[in-house]
Amino acid sequence: MSLIHTTSQELFTRAQDSIPGGVNSPVRAFKAVGGQPLFMKAAKGAYLFDEDGNQYLDLINSWGPMILGHAHEVIEKAVRDALPGSLSFGAPTRREVEMAELIISMIPSVEKVRMVNSGTEATMSAIRVARGYTGRDKIIKFEGCYHGHGDSFLIAAGSGAVTLGVPDSPGVTKGVANDTLTAPYNDLAAVQTLIDANPSQVAAIILEPVVGNMGLVVPAKGFLQGLRDLCTKEGIVLIFDEVMTGFRLAKGGAQELYGVLPDMTTLGKIIGGGMPVGAYGGKREIMNSVAPVGPVYQAGTLSGNPIAMSAGMAALTYLNEHPEVYTHLQTITDKLVNGTKQNMQQLGLNYTINQVGSMFSLFFTEQPVTDFASAKTSDLGRFGKYFHEMLQRGIYLAPSQYETLFVSAAITDALADQYLKANLEALQATL
Ligand code: PLP
């Protein structure tokens, strides 16, 4: 029943001549699972279609943005309607004001917001602002959390960085690395120790409030609130990196779900409806340190791009006005997770599954996964086999153990059944 991938293989061979590793973002290369990446041609609803005409049920959804499924009519229409205006003005537009107001109305802690073009730009800018605002240099991040490829974050980074075994990338200077302190996720005592060892030097603590980049890891009870209390006490800017979780775990992101408010929030993925958009925002007082009102410089030729704003506005407006999307996502993801547990029971397997809302990960380990160290107890060889068995059955999973899956609203009950049938067979094939 082997699928034909001849065209993808030809393209990959060509691509490797002209693009480093044949891909424009490392995790796409399938290095962690072996084999060759598939080249996609089109997508609609819950499905991806590759260059060889195979179709796949998509559990990545462009690494998060396509929460409504691919080629959603509302977003496509918004883009089409915006096209005759201009592709780019480089001047302020009404759309940007509306977008800022919408974000502020949806994300509980955001009082002012600046648009950028990616999640990486959002996090890089946010820590610069936190440093400028506090007059301090150091930041604390957590092992296995990924905040994009800014130099300061490529220290014990998760996602593609750990997948490729380069958690500390060459090219990041010692000076930059020295200003990034790291602690294990869910370990408040370790954070306290770092703060004590660096008195009045820590500008910001940045974290994924629910982690997607070491696989899905859930904040322990009290962890987020504990960080909130520490930051308030020590004058540290608490930054929630909600690039994955924003508009996904609730319309107000993880901060709404857990009821803990950061000082700053970084956003990406869903905020652009599939177009390249990011944003950072937070308390009015902190955001007023950003140029031109304040001294911290940050800019972008294409920031607030009219087509990107239109796509993003359409996605966010739809989510804001259709709370039933979140109910559906929860129901379907519960079904996928509970069904996988039943399949494992049937096969005598006892792997760990973590889930929050429409994000989940199956870890090939029997240990609870609460941080990066426990995520790394997973059997990567077995995960790779499972990945390929699923792919052969038309299910497109993230090609790494250290990634979360993202469920889209286009996955119906019947498609969930199809997923679970493949899951049972694929798990069996790994035995
Ligand atoms: N922050 C988090 C939590 C992410 O998951 C990512 C990307 O996956 C980023 C930041 C970087 O976003 P981008 O890839 O848009 O630069």
Domains, the chain, with CATH or none: 6-60+323-429 (3.90.1150.10), 73-321 (3.40.640.10)
Residue 353's CB: how many other CB atoms inside 10 A?
17
Contact status, residue 18 vs residue 8, Cβ threshold 8 Å: no
Predicted pLDDT of residue 56? 98
Does the beta carbon of 123 lie inside 6 Å of ligand 1? yes
Ligand 1: centre distance to CA 268 (Å):
7
| pLDDT above 60: residue 164 | no
User: Using an 8 Å Cβ cutoff, are 296 and 128 in contact?
Assistant: yes
Distance CA 201, CA 141 (A): 14
Identify the three-state secondary structure at position 100: helix
Percent of the chain with pLDDT over 70: 97
pLDDT given at position 166? 44
Nearest CA to ligand 1 atom 1: 147
DSSP state at residue 205: E
Taking residues 183-203, report their average pLDDT. 97
Q: Is the pLDDT of residue 34 over 80?
A: yes
CB 403 less than 6 A from any atom of ligand 1:
no
- Closest atom of ligand 1 relative to the 269 alpha carbon: 15
Average pLDDT in the 55-80 region?
A: 98
**Phi–psi pair at 289, nearest 5 degrees:** -85, 0
Predicted pLDDT at 155: 83
Residue 158 has pLDDT above 70, yes or no: no
CB distance 160 to ligand 1 below 6 Å: no
- Whether the ω angle into residue 292 lies within 30 degrees of 0, i.e. cis, is yes
Atom 11 of ligand 1: nearest residue by CA position: 148
Give the pLDDT band (50/70/90) at residue 170.
confident
Cα 282 to Cα 4, 35, 100, 292, 314: the distances in Å are 49, 43, 12, 17, 22
Tell whether the model's pLDDT for residue 126 goes beyond 50. Answer: yes
169 or 69, which is more confident?
69
pLDDT at 162 over 80: no
Residue 307 has pLDDT above 60, yes or no: yes
pLDDT of 1: 57
Active site annotation includes 258: no
Q: Is 214 in the pocket of ligand 1 (CB under 6 A)?
A: no
Name the residue of 244, 249, 271 whose CB sits within 8 Å of the most ligand 1 atoms, as the mutation to test its pocket: 244
Contact 269, 246 (CB under 8 A): yes
What CA–CA distance (Å, rounded) separates 220 from 184? 12
pLDDT score for 336: 98
